[in-house]
Amino acid sequence: MSKTIRTRMGDGELVMMSAGEIKADILEGSKDAADRGKIPELSANELDQLYNIIAEPGRIVSVNPGEEVIVIDDGSVLGFISEQGDSGAGLPLSRSQAILTYEKACGADTVLMPHHDFSYKPVKSIINYEMQDYYSTSQLTTIPLFYGAQPNMGLYYKPDGPCDNPSELLPLGKIKEAKQAQIDAAAMMEDDIVYIFKELNRVGLEGLNLDTCGSAGDADFMSALNVCVEVKKINPNMPVVIGMASEFVLGMHGEVEFDGQRLAGMYPHDQVIVAEKAGADIFGPAINVNSSKSIPWNLSRAVTFVKATSEASAIPIHANVGMGVCGIPMLEESAIDCVTRASKALIQIGKVDGL
């Protein structure tokens, strides 16, 4: 078979593959997700549909009229104003100007005001500035304006924070101490984010995005869920988005629970259940990209996980489709052929409510 179909590897490398090779990778990717998550594989029709999306000859692809979804973001405005670390263009705009540009020039459905570090901890010390900037900007925006950042529990460990570092304690066999450090860090992070929320809530916060939850493991995810519970106690009408760091909750602690459910080892279709119980309004699954495998393999795997999550959920599912997750290559300047194919596949087969 001739290699005539243009696609990419997970690291963004352009490759030409035959129809047979792509179909084999799609099948294998779906099986991998099904095996790991103990969820159904894609059906024969869905595998064909995915192949057709990947093999579409156009440079970019799109959904059919009427199939559009809501596109939210996790700091898209940093793409205008930040630097290489955020794949940013470094434009000399203020954050508010970038937000209004994203709303007006790009036609975004919602927009997020991000802290430049994109972690909650550094926000605490400049909360007055953030309150003023949020308040001023929210007077000008028409689309929903979220405030968001990562919980990022790693910042609470030495040398960046006050807690002993589990990554140093665990190799020494100090299991009990490592677990306690995580519980301490989780409590501090929860206090900080709830404090930040309370202050922003006073100036008219329209929605809170807890992005990249679980990046430091199960205690990090637990803390984010607890934050959501507290936010809803303070303002039951506050929209909360919980987006994940990866497909699998790492058991860095191993025993922490939420609502009687052990969090370590959860895949997205289980993560969404605890997010719902915490009161989240929107859940964002994040499926890892294997940069050594093809995009057909990665996208099929992502669609299989996301479809199972959407079926298990009672709340809107917005798949994370940034660099290196859900079928988007791990590439600083993301290739739009893959970005648009991920969009279409996750909507038509994964049945997401948004991206």
Partner 1 sequence: MPVAHILASCMGGIRTTGDLVAWMQMTRKMRLNEAKQYVADKLGIKVIDLIDEEIMRPLREELGIGTLVAIPGAEKGILAKNKIAKLLNIEINSVKLFQSKLK
| Binding region for partner 1 (CB under 8 A) | 60-63, 65-73, 76, 79, 87, 102-104, 106-110, 138-145, 201, 203-207, 235, 237-239, 281-282, 314-316, 321-323, 328, 334, 336, 339-340, 343-344, 347, 352-355
Give the nearest distance from C-beta 202 to partner 1 in angstroms.
8
Q: What is the DSSP track for 151-193?
A: --GGGGBTTTSSB--HHHHGGGT-HHHHHHHHHHHHHHHHHHH
- 6: its two tokens: 């243009």
Give the nearest distance from C-beta 262 to partner 1 in angstroms.
25
Give the nearest distance from C-beta 298 to partner 1 in angstroms.
16
Q: Which is nearer to partner 1, 204 or 265 (CB)?
A: 204
Query: What is the residue whose two structure tokens read 């008219």?
Result: 204
Residue 20: partners with Cβ closer than 8 Å, 6 or more residues away: 1
Q: Give Rg (Cα) of the chain.
A: 20
Handedness of CA 70, 330, 264, 257 (dihedral sign): negative
Give the nearest distance from C-beta 137 to partner 1 in angstroms.
9
Beta-carbon count within 10 A of 59 CB: 9
Residue 273 to residue 14: CA distance in whole angstroms? 38
Indicate the residue type of 39.
I
CA distance to 107, 206, 238, 279, 330, per residue, from 111 (Å): 10, 11, 16, 21, 23
Q: Which is nearer to partner 1, 4 or 52 (CB)?
A: 52
Residue 201 CB-density burial (10 A; 0-12 exposed, 13-18 middle, 19+ buried): middle
Residue 315 to residue 281: CA distance in whole angstroms? 6
Give the nearest distance from C-beta 10 to partner 1 in angstroms.
16
Give the nearest distance from C-beta 36 to partner 1 in angstroms.
26
Q: Which is nearer to partner 1, 48 or 68 (CB)?
A: 68
Give the nearest distance from C-beta 311 to partner 1 in angstroms.
11
Residue 316 to residue 319: CA distance in whole angstroms? 10
Q: Is the peptide bond before 162 cis (omega within 30 degrees of 0)?
A: no
Q: Which is nearer to partner 1, 77 or 250 (CB)?
A: 77
Q: Are 301 and 25 in contact (CB under 8 A)?
A: no
Q: Which is nearer to partner 1, 34 or 63 (CB)?
A: 63
Q: Which is nearer to partner 1, 153 or 321 (CB)?
A: 321
Residue 355 to residue 352: CA distance in whole angstroms? 7
Query: What is the residue whose two structure tokens read 């790492």?
Result: 250
Q: Which is nearer to partner 1, 214 or 322 (CB)?
A: 322
Give the nearest distance from C-beta 144 to partner 1 in angstroms.
5
Q: Which is nearer to partner 1, 49 or 62 (CB)?
A: 62
Q: Which is nearer to partner 1, 79 or 251 (CB)?
A: 79
Give the nearest distance from C-beta 343 to partner 1 in angstroms.
4
